Chain A
Amino acid sequence: MDTISLPATERSPRIDFDFGRGHLALRGESYPEDAAAFYGPLLQALRGYLAEAATDPIVFEVGLAYFNSSSAKALMNLFMPLEDAAAEGRPVTIRWFYADGDETIAEAGEDFAADFSHARFEMVEEFA
């Protein structure tokens, strides 16, 4: 599986997981009916990709205007194996996008950032 592409829906983000390029992105809003069902296959694919133990850099871009608590849990589940891979020496960068003035999303990013010590976590402010 080289790529997973899903269009955004009204309550789930656009997914562009390009494993070939090591570029993963998630954009939109996230409060799917069943967060485990939505994120489960993505987590499985990510784990499979990381298990190949390559050394290519990974960039994961997350730009969510809103996400519910079940999605927060799912994001954490995606972040943890990435941090583990970084701890084993793989270059991993997480880019957390938040709209100018959106304190809620900025604060959520800072919360997640505190759990990374090996992966690079960048906060990116976006202006409309």
Chain B
Amino acid sequence: MLAQDFRSFFNASRREGVILSFGGDLSENVLFSLGEVLKLRMGQDATHSSVTKRVFGIFVEQAQNIIRYSADKVAEPTGSRGLISAGMIVVGVAGERFYVVCGNEVPDGDVPTLRARLDHLTTMTGDELKAFYREKLRQPPDEGSLGGSIGLIEIARRSSAPVEYDFQELGDGRSFFCLKAYI
């Protein structure tokens, strides 16, 4: 029963075109290792190198967003140990396109800003995203940002369609945030 159940779960994800799936505590080291196997898998499948690079780039930005902004953190940084945060990240193929989807808990207080930023990005054309990216690159990062405040713009401009996103209220001041990008 155990093997059967688990295999049907595994097969279901294969059918859905999933090539990489991770759920749980994510650290920078885990990100690195997942990224390595993702590149190897895509290399074996003879994916065009420019597509591999875009999938990998979006994967890194999504994974770093989980590590930095998930509300469900295992450890605060102490000395050499960095952030470890819970979330999930899935890379797959749907039809002819790759997708990268991530999910993690965020504090309810972050939702309006995040939603507004994503709403804004999805209305922009490729040229507008490029201009916006360049503008943000020259500005100091937004308050509370641990990177350059440009990760989401980078994801949007490397995607072949507007990003999809959703929030679900969980209670206790948290929401589940999901972001899906097609390459």
Please give the residue numbers on chain A whose beta carbons come within 8 Å of chain B beta carbons, in ascending order: 10-11, 31, 33-35, 66, 68-70, 72-74, 76, 80, 101-104, 111, 114-115
Question: Within 8 Å of chain A (Cβ to Cβ): is B130?
Answer: yes
B28 lies within 8 A of chain A by Cβ: yes
State whether A33 touches B150 (Cβ < 8 A).
no
Tell me the bound Cα distance from A101 to B50 in angstroms: 9
Q: List 9 A-B pairs, minimum CB-CB distance, nearest first.
A: A73-B148, A70-B147, A33-B28, A69-B154, A69-B150, A69-B151, A76-B137, A68-B60, A70-B148
- We find that the number of chain B residues with CB closer than 8 angstroms to chain A is 24
Question: Nearest Cβ distance between residue A123 and chain B, in whole angstroms?
Answer: 17
Cβ < 8 Å to A, chain B residues 133-148? 133-134, 137-138, 141, 147-148
Contacts of B151 in A (CB 8 A): 68-70
Select A11's contact among B32, B57, B138, B153, beta carbons within 8 Å: B32
Q: Is the CB of A104 within 8 A of B82?
A: no
Instruction: Give CA–CA (A86, B137) in the complex, Å.
Output: 20
Smallest CB separation, A114 vs chain B (Å): 7
CB pair B64–A68 under 8 Å, yes or no, is yes
Complex Cα gap A103–B151 (Å): 19
Asked if B7 CB lies within 8 Å of chain A CBs, one says no
The interface residues of chain B lying within 8 Å CB-to-CB of A35 are: 147-148
Known: A33-B82, A34-B82. A66 touches B56 (CB 8 A): yes
Query: Which of chain A's residues have a CB closer than 8 A to the CB of B53?
Result: 66, 102, 104
B60: A residues at CB distance < 8 A: 31, 68
Is the C-beta of B54 less than 8 angstroms from some C-beta in chain A? yes
* A33: B residues at CB distance < 8 A: 28, 82
Which applies to chain B's interface (DSSP): helix, strand, loop or mixed?
helix
Q: B61, A68: Cβ atoms under 8 Å? A: yes
Given A10-B32, A34-B82, A73-B141, A103 and B148 touching (CB < 8 A)? Answer: no
Q: Is the beta-carbon distance between A68 and B134 smaller than 8 angstroms?
A: no
Q: Closest approach, in angstroms, between the C-beta of B144 and any C-beta of chain A?
A: 14
Query: B130: which A residues are within 8 A, CB to CB?
Result: 111
27 residue pairs bridging A and B, Cβ less than 8 Å apart: A11-B32, A31-B60, A34-B82, A35-B148, A68-B57, A68-B60, A68-B61, A68-B64, A68-B151, A69-B147, A69-B150, A70-B147, A70-B151, A72-B150, A73-B137, A73-B150, A76-B137, A76-B138, A80-B138, A101-B50, A102-B50, A102-B53, A104-B53, A111-B133, A111-B137, A115-B134, A115-B138
Alpha-carbon gap, A40 to B115, bound state (A):
31
Nearest Cβ in chain A — how far from B69, in angstroms?
Answer: 13
Contact A111 B134 (CB under 8 A): yes
For B150, the chain A residues whose CB sits under 8 A away are: 69, 72-73
Q: In the complex, what distance in Å separates the CA atom of A114 from the CA atom of B138?
A: 12
